[in-house]
Amino acid sequence: MIKRLFFSYGFYILIFLLIIIFTLISNHFMSLSNWTQISIASCFLLTAAAGLTVVLITGNIDLSVGSIAYIAASVAYLSADQGPIITILAVIFVGAFLGLINGFLIAYLKMNSLLTTLGLLIAYRGISLVITGGTVQKIGEQLSNFGNYKFFGFFPLIFAVSLILVIGIQFIMKFTRFGRYCYAIGNNEISANKLGIPVKKIKLYSFIIAGICGALSGLLLAMYLGEVTTFTGRGMEFQAVAAIVIGGTSLFGGRGSIMPGTFAGVLLLVIINNGLGSMGVSPYVYPFVAGSIIFLAIYLDSIKNTSSK
């Protein structure tokens, strides 16, 4: 019983403890301006991870989300003169299209999702490098202003966008037939097929959702910075997978959630970075701490999975 409680809520306890520790050590950590900072730092990862969670729940993986984010940001640069509406629509379209390609290859041509999207991670990044010429490029000014807008002076617009996405996707996963089918496919694809669930279609949709979320994540980052840098989305796929798994979603599919799961996972990673920063720890230590926590989460996931069998 205690063991189960620990497996299910362990990382919530960890977040809580970390917040207490950081608050006690650093007097800057609990300030409103710092939490605004935390929300900005988390919204990019949160947006990408929300869509990716759907793919993981069906038992697949999409490593190309970071590169899709970069392409989306490049599209924002290309359409800088067309006004914000056109840019936003173009970004969503590009995300959906790239997700469609991933999903088609994996669901219909039955390619392995890990290897396919690993290859596409590199290819998509290449496309963006061609578009941007591998340098920093400006995006439209209006979007850039939106990217730095804060409601009531402290609540960032971009965080609100990611929060709406997270809640929306969680709603879909919990209350619609599509959501149940995703879990069913992740649990037992063969049975799902036998029951007449449209397995291929559901998988395709899950990759489209991940593609759109990845693209929006890139757009949010470009809006915040006002420009597209070559760092956009680099390594984001791994951070996202880590956050998702920390949040309790299984790499083997069939179980997990976006809210509270993935949301808390992202928060944990961001709080660690932010807290260590406000404590004045050298930034070179962050990857070690974050990596250790990711390792712990994945280790717990595998224990959970082997013990339930």
Partner 1 sequence: MIQKSIIEMKLITKIFPGVTALDQVSLKAVGGEIIGLVGVNGAGKSTLMNILGGVYKANKGKILINAEEVVFNSPLDATLCGISFIHQELNYFASQSVAENIFMSDLPMHKKFPFILSQADLYKSAENILSLLGSNIDPRVPIEELSVGEKQVIEIARALAKGNNIVIFDEPSSSLSITEKNKLFETVIKLKQEGKIIIYISHFIEEILHLCDRYYVLRNGKMVGEGNVKEVSKNQIITLVIGKEILVKSKNYKYDEKQKFIKIKNFSQGNKLKNINFEINRGEILGIWGLMGSGRTELLRCLLGLDKKDSGEIIIAENKNLNSITPIELRQKCGFVTESRRIDGLFLNESVKKNITSANLKLYAEGIFKIINTNSELGDAESFINKLSIKTPSSLTKIENLSGGNQQKAIFAKWLNKKPQILILDEPTRGVDVGAKQEIASLIMNLANEGISVLLVSSELEEIVNMSDRVLVLRDGTICHEASGSEISEEILMATALGGN
Cβ within 8 Å of residue 108, ≥6 positions away:
200, 204
**Residue with Cβ nearer partner 1 (71 or 184):** 184
Q: Give yes or no for residue 201 binding partner 1 (CB under 8 A).
A: no
Q: Which of 27, 32, 194, 306 binds partner 1 (CB under 8 A)?
A: 194
| Residues from 222 through 261 that contact partner 1 (CB under 8 A) | 254-255
Amino acid at 146: F
Instruction: At 192, list the tokens.
Output: 């799902």
Q: Which residue has the tokens 């979320």?
A: 213
The span of 133-141, 181-189, 217-225, 237-245 binding partner 1 (CB under 8 A) equals 181-189
**Residue with Cβ nearer partner 1 (184 or 228):** 184
Question: Distance of CA 214 to CAs 68, 199, 286, Å?
Answer: 6, 23, 24
Question: Distance of CA 304 to CAs 3, 49, 181, 198, Å?
Answer: 10, 22, 23, 29
- Main-chain dihedrals φ then ψ at residue 70, nearest 5 degrees: -65, -45
Q: Give yes or no for residue 145 binding partner 1 (CB under 8 A).
A: no
Minimum CB separation of residue 297 from partner 1 in Å reads 18
**Residue with Cβ nearer partner 1 (179 or 218):** 179
Q: Quick check: 215 and 98 in contact, CB under 8 A?
A: yes
**Residue with Cβ nearer partner 1 (180 or 234):** 180
**Residue with Cβ nearer partner 1 (138 or 201):** 201
Q: Using CB under 8 A as the criterion, what x/- string covers residues 160-179 for binding partner 1?
A: ---------------xxxx-
Residue 227, H or E segment? strand 227-228
Q: Give yes or no for residue 306 binding partner 1 (CB under 8 A).
A: no
